[in-house]
Amino acid sequence: MSSCIATPSHLPDLVRGTFNRARSSGDLSCYPTKVAVLNVGTVPFQLRFAPSLANKPKAPGSQHSPSDPFCYTTASASPLFVTDIGPAHFLVLNKFAIVPEHFILATKAFRQQTHVLEPADIAAAWACITAYEAANSQANAEKNDPRQEEMDATYNPNYKQDQNGLFVFFNSGPESGASQPHRHIQMLPIAAMYRGLDSSHPRWNVLASTQSVHNTLPFTCFSESISSPDGAYASYLRLYRRACDAVRAHKGQSLDSFMYDTPRAPLEQTNVNQETLTALPARISYNMAMTSRSIILCPRLAESATLPMADSRNAHAVSAAFNGTLLAGTLLAKTEAEWNTLRSSPSLLGQILAEIGVPKK
């Protein structure tokens, strides 16, 4: 059983204050975005594009090994540091944010991003989710007029129904969109994810919270309702095993033989203790996401897919890459060509989403 992890009761204010100070001092960049809503079948996906990020000059390459941005000794002294979370984790802001107040839960001691998560990781994430939502719920209840909320929801289909919560996601493995080897779980304020959406856009809601639509997606994912940290961890392990089974069935051979040359975490629960399960790399790449109500996991077969170009004169292939934000129903176009192509041919989005995960039969 997990122990209760203490979190600051004013977590949203703490994150917001740290974000505003770091942004004002130039220690953090938050990029404005354009936004469109594209339907994949009946499921709406946000497509965002940050022109200033796309045009940002790349830093010159270095022959030195890259530093660990989540090294606790360095991070705790940084203007991006938010707070400790329990004995084993801490919060730090994302230095290059698309969603305002994007923050990250990282392990104090180095843990591999590719390994199966430990109970303490899920417990710390759950503590952040519940503390953040509780503080926002109380603050909003004190200042909001229920009649005005009803009017806002009627006028604007993108009224922030989940405005108090967090969308939490984890990328694991080379095909997941993971960028750092130090274990970290990313956290996005749901209210901030509605930025730029108004009555001119089709209705959009956080995908992970809408279990009824998961079976209609072009890629395979698995989800369960959750209500406690222990229950969330048990669900995580069940979903991870189901995802491994889905990849194995799709490949038509054993996971032991088709993916890895090094030992991997065992799949079967029988006679496998927790230390054995979490001490080795996961057998697949996957994205996992959590909200206060649900957990969802998507096995990944590719990090990106190439967009077919309608203009045969364009010799440059356009590639679209995805990480765990796809489980929120949000995608970031890296280039203007990708942004324009997907908006002009929305059906392409469903095609490439089927390529990056286990396709539906």
Cα 13 from chain centroid?
22
Strands laid side by side in the 285-290 sheet: 81-85, 89-93, 103-107, 184-189, 166-172, 285-290, 294-300, 222-225
Q: Report whether pLDDT(360) > 80.
A: yes
Q: Report whether pLDDT(61) > 60.
A: no
Q: Report whether pLDDT(259) > 50.
A: no
pLDDT at 9: 92
Q: CA nearest 328: which of 278, 279, 277, 294?
A: 294
Q: What is the mean pLDDT of residues 94-104?
A: 97
Range with the poorest average pLDDT among 17-31, 32-46, 95-109, 302-316:
302-316
Q: Report whether pLDDT(271) > 50.
A: no
329 pLDDT band, cuts 50/70/90, is very high
Query: What residue has token string 């984790």?
Result: 89
Q: What is the CATH number of the domain that holds 197?
A: 3.30.428.70
Per the domain annotation, does 320 fall within a domain?
Answer: yes
Per the domain annotation, does 139 fall within a domain?
Answer: yes
pTM of the shown model? 0.89
Per the domain annotation, does 265 fall within a domain?
Answer: yes
Q: Which residues neighbour 352 within 8 Å (Cβ) at sequence distance 6 or greater?
A: 305, 306, 307, 320
Q: How many domains does the chain have?
A: 1
Contact assessment for residue 165 and residue 171, using Cβ atoms and an 8 Å cutoff: no
**Domain encompassing residue 341:** 11-53+69-356
pLDDT at 279: 76
Q: CA nearest 357: which of 293, 284, 307?
A: 284
Per the domain annotation, does 61 fall within a domain?
Answer: no
pLDDT at 223: 95
Q: Report whether pLDDT(72) > 80.
A: yes
Per the domain annotation, does 34 fall within a domain?
Answer: yes
Q: How many helices (H) and strands (E) does the chain have?
A: 11, 15
DSSP one-letter string for 21-62: HHHHTTS-EE---EEEEEEETTEEEEEEE-HHHHTPPPPPP-
Tell me 306's DSSP state: E
Higher-scoring residue by pLDDT: 256, 52: 52
- Rounded CA-CA distance 165/122 in Å is 16
Per the domain annotation, does 361 fall within a domain?
Answer: no
Per the domain annotation, does 58 fall within a domain?
Answer: no
Q: Report whether pLDDT(107) > 70.
A: yes
Question: What are 322's two structure tokens?
Answer: 């995805």
Per the domain annotation, does 33 fall within a domain?
Answer: yes
Contact assessment for residue 20 and residue 3, using Cβ atoms and an 8 Å cutoff: no
Q: CA nearest 291: which of 202, 156, 203, 193?
A: 193
Measured between alpha carbons, how far is residue 236 from residues 41, 269, 288 in Å?
A: 27, 13, 8
Higher-scoring residue by pLDDT: 137, 122: 122
Strand, coil or helix: what is 250? helix
Q: Report whether pLDDT(44) > 50.
A: yes
pLDDT at 67: 86
- Rounded CA-CA distance 36/184 in Å is 29
Phi, psi of 291 (to 5 degrees): -130, -170
pLDDT at 146: 61
- Residue 115 forms beta bridges with which residues? 281
